[in-house]
Amino acid sequence: MENATGKCAMVKRSDRKIYVEDCGSRRFFICRKYHTYDYESVFVPEAKTWPEAQDYCRTHYANLASFSSSYSNSIVTDIECPMWIGLHRDGAAWSWSLGDSKYRNWFTGEPSNSGDCGSIYSISRTMASENCDTRLPFLCISDNMVLVKENKNWEEALEHCRGLRSSTNNVRYDLLSLQPEDQQDLIMNKVMQADTDEVWTGLCFLAGEWLWVNGADMLHTDLPLCPAPHQHCGILTKTSAGGMEARDCSERKNFICYSYTT
């Protein structure tokens, strides 16, 4: 829209064509709600060793839980107790089984040499080291992303995602759209599992600007204002640390779909 009295676009229901009209005209209008990547922690009240808990989470969800920089989930038990999370000692350093994380809320005196696997306490949300054979309840991470290990061009990937169906009637799928503040460590972990070095996202260059196919705000500022010919589709690469890059839309790559409720 140019301004309150300028020219705006409208669509006629009769022929579904776009027309230009004075912006002061009164018309019905349609709003679009967009959806983004989402995840949640799932408490599993079964006592398992750390390796058993990791296998369980990978089979039924995504992985043992990790956190970006804070852990603000509601209390899952009414007593203070340790729960396994996706943290383990790798040599001298501690690392997360699902991407990287800056969460380091260790209990006083931790980490100690008592074990090589990490737990988090349900109420204080402090972390401690435990013997990996200890049997504890645990937290899994569940996300709404689907990595498709099929090589398709961008348009085919979009059609594939939108054609996916769930047993739940109000669940729909689309190519992944993401924002800089999203859980980059979890998203990049999904990218690293792809069979191709790059994966398609729901980013495209249309009518002179970069757009997300789900209508989300464009907050990535590092994209070229005038991309090279045909490089009008966005990808994530295994070496980009979450940054978006432009590629030829005809290239064939794996891609990430995500689900949302309508």
pLDDT of 28 reads: 55
Domain range 144-261, CATH architecture: Roll (3.10)
pTM, two decimal places = 0.61
- What's the distance, CA 176 to chain centroid? 8
Residue 195 to residues 100, 136, 146, 175, 252, Cα–Cα distance (Å): 21, 34, 14, 17, 11
pLDDT of 171 reads: 81
Domain range 39-142, CATH architecture: Roll (3.10)
Q: Is residue 252 within 8 Å of residue 152, measured between CB atoms?
A: yes
* One pLDDT digit (tens) per residue for the chain, 262 residues: 344 445 677 766 566 566 777 777 776 554 444 455 566 678 888 999 999 999 998 887 778 887 755 555 544 667 888 999 999 998 888 888 765 666 778 999 898 888 999 999 988 889 999 999 999 999 988 778 888 999 999 999 999 999 987 666 778 889 998 876 566 777 887 898 899 999 999 999 998 999 999 888 777 767 888 899 889 999 999 987 667 899 999 999 999 998 888 7
- Same topology, domains 39-142 and 144-261? Answer is yes
Instruction: Domain ranges for the chain, please list them.
Output: 1-30, 39-142, 144-261
Give DSSP secondary structure letters for 52-86: HHHHHHHHHSSEE---SS---PPPSSSS--EEEEE
pLDDT of 38 reads: 60
Q: Provide the 10 A C-beta neighbour count for residue 135.
A: 13
